[in-house]
Amino acid sequence: MTDTLAQTDDALAPLDFAVTRNLAAKSPSERAQLLENPGFGTVFTDHMVDVCWSVKGGWHRPRVQPYGPISLDPAAAVLHYGQEIFEGIKAYRHADGGVYTFRPEQNAQRLQRSARRLALPELPTEYFLQSLRELIAVDGDWVPSGEDQTLYLRPFMFAKEAFLGVRPAQKVAYYLIASPAGSYFKGGIQPVKIWLSERYQRAAKGGTGAAKTGGNYAASLLPQAEAYENGCDQVVFLDADGNIEELGGMNILFVMKDGTIVTPASETILDGITRNSLLQLARDRGLAVEQRPVSLSEWREGVASGDITEVFACGTAAVITPIGALKAAGFEDAQPIGELALSLREELTDIQYGRREDKHGWLHRLDA
């Protein structure tokens, strides 16, 4: 499985970005200090990309400009009706100094699927890739080289038309910002404790669960707060039939006694690119992979009987995290810790950082 560009984008002329340099850009020593221990999502680079879209003009006014506040009309539709989508993707510094990203066409295509569901315009794959390259051209020095460090890229799109009627906006903005990142969880790669959300659901059939849209995350905040109150790091959601869906920001995978990897198949969850890549690496190792519904009782009974030997979560921001416990109002189950999650994590990150052969053609150079 080699990733290829969407065929339909071949004929597109590239966008002509107007670049305005940030005169207050951080000095190399200020930047080095910020890159020492960036944490997740708090430090931002000197520039951002934005492209406008309108019904009349299509995609226009592509810009690279200094990172800073966005001016919005208070009636902008996104502030009222949440018409917004985003992506999460990382840039990796390789030992030869090059800057690479991982399967960006997949993120471009998922942004297009999210756009369709949220009645937003589809950004062509070529424009998406170009926006990544344009930002790296000015902020490439922000891609850190420390162990497990990356530059987290956050493309997003929202309805900026000032109109209080409820209909798809006719004016939209696409932005790309970037944030140097270390580990997503404060504790690094420690097993996390997961809270089972029994009172709140994240998504429903026919809803927006498979789209990467802000509303899904807004809906996860209260159960996430409940998780923290109960000493847990993350929350896992069930669907209306009692099947496991996913975590607030990660997919979930189960390892069975015979090495088979099982992960929920559902139209209400995000089709994770990390998950798909791990399933491919598992198949390459000769392991069986099943995408099918997994009920809560299958999970609990499987752990109790030893049929499930490992449970882990994955996503771009958090990479792979073993699950050490599942807690709910009425029980707390310790989870078995195995070797597979960490060995897949090593294989995946070795590919991403250029330490291992990229057999599937997943890497995409951004700075050349």
Q: Which of the stretches 107-115, 164-172, 226-234, 315-323 binds ligand COI when contact is defined by CB under 6 A?
A: 315-323
Residue 270 interacts, among ligand COI, ligand PLP, none and using kind-specific CB cut-offs from 5 to 8 Å, with: ligand PLP
Q: Identify the residue among 180, 249, 264, 302 touching ligand PLP (CB under 6 A).
A: 249
Q: Does 352 bind ligand COI (CB under 6 A)?
A: no
Q: Does 250 bind ligand PLP (CB under 6 A)?
A: yes
Q: Shortest distance, CB of residue 212 to ligand COI, whole angstroms? A: 7
Between residues 83 and 274, which has the closer beta carbon with respect to ligand PLP?
Answer: 274
Q: Which residues of 34-63 are buried (b: 16+ CB within 10 A; e: fewer)?
A: bbeebebeebbbbbbbbbbbbeeeebeebb
Site string for ligand PLP, 264-303 (x = CB under 6 A): ------x-xxxx----------------------------
Q: Does 316 bind ligand COI (CB under 6 A)?
A: yes
Q: Shortest distance, CB of residue 132 to ligand COI, whole angstroms? A: 14
Q: Shortest distance, CB of residue 154 to ligand COI, whole angstroms? A: 8
Q: Do residues 194 and 234 make contact, with C-beta atoms less than 8 angstroms apart?
A: yes
Q: Does 62 bind ligand COI (CB under 6 A)?
A: no
Q: Does 180 bind ligand COI (CB under 6 A)?
A: no
Q: Contacts with ligand PLP in 301-320 (CB under 6 A)? A: 315-316
End-to-end CA distance of the chain: 24
* CA–CA distance, 318 with 301 (Å, rounded to integer): 27
Q: Shortest distance, CB of residue 234 to ligand PLP, whole angstroms? A: 11
Q: Identify the residue among 62, 180, 315, 322 touching ligand COI (CB under 6 A).
A: 315
Q: Does 114 bind ligand COI (CB under 6 A)?
A: no
Structure tokens at 291: 């995408």
Q: Does 321 bind ligand PLP (CB under 6 A)?
A: no
Q: Does 88 bind ligand COI (CB under 6 A)?
A: yes
Q: Which of the stretches 55-63, 99-107, 113-121, 313-321 binds ligand COI when contact is defined by CB under 6 A?
A: 313-321
Counting beta carbons within 10 angstroms of the beta carbon of residue 326, is it exposed (0 to 12), middle (13 to 18) or buried (19 or more)? buried
Q: Shortest distance, CB of residue 184 to ligand COI, whole angstroms? A: 7
Q: Does 104 bind ligand COI (CB under 6 A)?
A: no
Q: Which of the stretches 45-53, 224-232, 286-294, 312-320 binds ligand COI when contact is defined by CB under 6 A?
A: 312-320
Q: Does 38 bind ligand COI (CB under 6 A)?
A: no
Between residues 45 and 234, which has the closer beta carbon with respect to ligand PLP?
Answer: 234
Q: How many residues are given for the chain?
A: 368
HEC assignment per residue over the chain? CCCCCCHHHCCCCCCCCEECCCCCCCCHHHHHHHHHCCCCCCCCCCEEEEEEEECCCEEEEEEEEECCCCCCCCCEHHHHHCCEEECCEEEEECCCCCEEEECHHHHHHHHHHHHHHCCCCCCCHHHHHHHHHHHHHHHHHHCCCCCCCEEEEEEEEEECCECCCCCCCCEEEEEEEEEEECCCCCCCCCCEEEEEECCCCCCCCCCCCCCCCHHHHHHHHHHHHHHHHCCCCEEEEECCCCEEEEECCCEEEEEECCCCEEECCCCCCCCCHHHHHHHHHHHHCCCCEEECCCEHHHHHHHHHHCCEEEEEEEECCCEEEEEEEEEECCEEEECCCCCHHHHHHHHHHHHHCCCCCCCCCCEEECCC
Between residues 88 and 182, which has the closer beta carbon with respect to ligand COI?
Answer: 88
Q: Does 191 bind ligand PLP (CB under 6 A)?
A: no
Site string for ligand PLP, 72-111 (x = CB under 6 A): ----------------x-----------------------
Chain contacts with ligand COI (rule: CB under 6 A): 88, 249, 315-317
Q: Which residues bind ligand PLP (CB under 6 A)?
A: 88, 246, 249-251, 270, 272-275, 315-316
